[in-house]
Amino acid sequence: MKQDSKKRARSFVSNQTVAILSILIFLIAVGASAFRRDAPAKEIKISAIARDSVASVKAFETVYKVLMSPRCMNCHPAGDVPLQGDDSHLHAMGPKRGLDGKGVYAMKCSNCHQETNTPGLHTPPGNPDWHLPPAAMKMVFQGKSAHELARQLVDKKQNGDKDMQKLIEHADDGLVLAGWNPGEGRTLPPVTHAEFKKAWITWIKNGAYAPKKTSN
């Protein structure tokens, strides 16, 4: 799964020129309609929506890179156990998601993960709200193609019932920000939070278009 996701991410990047060319034809037709189906227009309360699929998809490249980086993906695993480390291996002690995403029994996230990072290498990073997405809304990033992830992010059934406004606000969510304060020895996401936020908003405000499906 880990291998897959990396491969997908790489192939998306390398195919981007082709993708951009095809976007004009493809996304206006398919992506946009898919988006409209998933997120009815009446719920979008952002006045400044400008439908620009090229700009949107372009911005999503950055978004995708960030979301698939270990700092984001590790807590959006395909299974019910979070990932760890820059190589996104399964969390060594195998804590389970639990219904609320906060772990189970003696293995609740906050038993180890404090409100702030614990000093030192290989120590638990911290956040007051440390958790995985809940069992009913797993918001899986791991293994998703850019196309799949983009569609998932705007699907209220899969994104925690977030409309566009809420999605934009989510860029400043405490746990999202925690990705840029990962604790000693962990790499940062590939761009700064400001750059991410800009790309995130650009993606959404230009219509939250999903990139083209890749062949794999």
Decide whether 115 or 129 has the Cβ nearer to another protein. 115
For the chain, the farthest-separated pair of C-alpha atoms sits apart, in whole angstroms, at: 53
The nearest distance, CB 87 to another protein, in angstroms, is 12
Q: Where are the beta strands (DSSP E) in the chain?
A: 83-84, 89-90, 103-104, 107-108
Q: Token pair 């227009």 is at which residue? A: 41
DSSP H or E run through 167: helix 164-170
Nearest C-alpha neighbor of 209 from the set 46, 9, 56, 30 = 56
**Which residues from 11-40 bind another protein, rule CB under 8 A?**
none
Decide whether 31 or 103 has the Cβ nearer to another protein. 103
Decide whether 40 or 94 has the Cβ nearer to another protein. 94
Decide whether 48 or 119 has the Cβ nearer to another protein. 119
Nearest C-alpha neighbor of 165 from the set 20, 41, 45 = 45
Surface-to-core class of residue 150, CB atoms within 10 Å of its CB (0-12 exposed, 13-18 middle, 19+ buried): buried
Residue pair 168/46 in contact (Cβ under 8 Å)? The answer is: yes
Decide whether 28 or 90 has the Cβ nearer to another protein. 90
Surface-to-core class of residue 199, CB atoms within 10 Å of its CB (0-12 exposed, 13-18 middle, 19+ buried): buried
Structure tokens at 79: 């299974």
Decide whether 7 or 122 has the Cβ nearer to another protein. 122
- Regarding 78 and contact with another protein (CB under 8 A), the answer is no
| Binding mask of the shown chain, residues 178 to 207, with x at each position contacting another protein by CB under 8 A | ------------------------------
Q: Which span (6-14, 62-70, 107-115, 134-142) binds another protein, by CB under 8 A? A: 107-115
Of the candidates 47, 105, 136, 157, which one interacts with another protein according to CB under 8 A? 105
Phi-psi region of 103 (alpha: psi -120 to 50; beta: other; left: phi over 0): left
**Which residues from 110-139 bind another protein, rule CB under 8 A?**
110-112, 114-115, 118, 120-124
Q: Which span (105-113, 130-138, 154-162, 176-184) binds another protein, by CB under 8 A? A: 105-113
Of the candidates 25, 50, 92, 137, which one interacts with another protein according to CB under 8 A? 92
Question: What is the binding site for another protein (CB under 8 A)?
Answer: 92-96, 104-108, 110-112, 114-115, 118, 120-124
